[in-house]
Amino acid sequence: MSALAPLGPKFGKLVRLFASDQEGEVLGAVRAAERMLLSAGLDWHALAAALEHGRDLDEPEGEPKSWRDIAKWCERHDDGQLNPHERAFVTQMASQLVFSDDEPSAKQGTWLRALYARLRKGDRGR
């Protein structure tokens, strides 16, 4: 499922407001759309890349390239498969591993990879 699907109708309404002749309305709609993207763990770059490459927003091109990408992927593909402790861990890793060269501890890395593999396997079965 696309990461925008839960935002659906509200996001569509905001995008339509981009065509308004009222500057304040346009700016308000853009900022609201940006907040919606951020709440889904996305940004304008992700939206642009998805449009340019014709792919879903939540599907990376190939495998995730960093630990943070793995954690963000797990957050977006959970769909209730993770227990609360696992979900909290993934969320912590996604926010803690801000820079591309950040690395989790060996134990954290092993756990994150295991969760990624489990979610990946479940995602393919849908």
Is this model's pTM higher than 0.75 or not? no
| Pairwise CA distance, residues 49 & 9, whole Å | 21
In the chain, domain spans: 8-53, 67-124
Amino acid of residue 6 = P
Amino acid of residue 122 = G
Consecutive H or E run containing 26: helix 23-39
* pLDDT tens profile 46-91: 777 667 655 555 555 567 878 888 888 898 888 888 999 999 999 9
